[in-house]
Structure 1
Amino acid sequence: MTSPDDDTDDRLSVTIRCQDNASVGVTFCDRFGFDADSVHYAVELRAPGLTARVDEVVARTWESDLTTFLEALAADYRGWDGQRSWRTDDRDLAVSAVFRSGGHVGLTWALRPWPQAAGGWGASTTWLEAGEQMASLAAHVRHFLAGEQH
């Protein structure tokens, strides 16, 4: 499930909670930008026994962005074979998606706070409904990256 969070200081954020385990989640927050070509934001991962955060993920306007990837997953709500993946150009945020029977998408999130180092942090997969919840997630992330209240 996705939700735009209303922080007390009016900062935008989006939280994705796993429908199978609400203690597993991903939050996009602390959005800021340096110029018209990019948006900078933080990503936090949570799962039992894990809390991880990268303070400065960069979304560049000329790259294939996360919302395009999520919208494509939502459009394929009937499913697909194998795994689909997306990552930032800096490789500090990556997500892979699998489809399982029953119309659910598993999104596995990985953070890499030190781009020059091997490996990264991961969280348990967040499972969402393939159609409505994926479309809602894509819309919330698009609004977050654009700096718009949803």
Structure 2
Amino acid sequence: MTSPDHDTVDKPGVAIRCQDNPSVGVTFCDRFSFDADSVHYAVELRAPGLTARADEVVAWLWDSDLRVFLEELAADYQGWDGERNWQTNDRDLAVSAVFRSGGYVGLTWALRPWPQAAGGWGASVTTWLEAGEQMASLSADIREFLTTDQP
């Protein structure tokens, strides 16, 4: 399940909750831009016993970004074989997707900020969403989050 994060009107965000376990989720928030070519944002992962945050994930608007990956998954609501993968250019956010019988998509969200740094860290959670309407909603919410002009 996805929902716009309405903690404050001035700070748009997207919250994704796992259908199987609502205490597992991902939040996209704190978006900002330096120029017309990129959007910077934070990603937070949460699960019982886990909270992780990467503060400056970058989406390059000229590249195949997360919104395109999610739109393709939503379009394939009848399923696919194997695993599909996407990652940022900096490799600090990666998403893998699998389709399971019954019409559900498992999205594993992995954070690994500063992947080249010694002593870096990584964390991941998996959210399960309905392949049809929930994936379409997530795709639309992420598109709006990444492309809407800031107030």
Identify the TM-score tier after normalising by the shorter chain: over 0.9
Which stretches of structure 1, 4 residues or more, deviate above 3 A after TM superposition? Answer: 117-120
Identity percentage of aligned residues: 78
When residues 9 and 89 of structure 1 are mapped into structure 2, their CA distance, relative to the original with a 3 A threshold, is: same
The answer as to whether partners of 1:31 and 1:147 remain within 8 angstroms in 2 is: no
Note closer, same or farther for the CA distance 1:95–1:51 as it changes in structure 2 (3 Å cut).
same
Q: Is the 8 A contact 1:12 1:147 kept in 2?
A: no
**Aligned residue in 2 for 1:134:** 135
Cα distance per residue 1:49-68 (max 9 Å; x no partner): 11000000000011101010
Deviation of 1:146 after TM superposition, in Å, equals 1.2
State which drifts further: 109-118 or 79-88.
109-118
Which stretch shows the higher mean deviation, 74-83 or 4-13? 4-13
Deviations 1:99-120 (A, max 9, x none): 0000000000001111314775
Residue 124 of structure 1 aligns to a residue whose secondary structure is strand
Calculate the TM-score normalised by the size of structure 1.
0.94
Mind listing any 5+ residue stretches in structure 2 that lack a counterpart? none
The residue identity in structure 1 corresponding to 2:133 is E
- The runs of 5 or more residues in structure 1 that have no matched partner are none
The Cα RMSD (Å) is 1.5
Report the 3-state secondary structure (helix = DSSP H, G, I; strand = E; otherwise coil) of the residue aligned with 1:123: strand
* CA-CA distance at 1:131 after TM superposition: 0.9
Give the alignment's TM-score, normalised by structure 2. 0.94
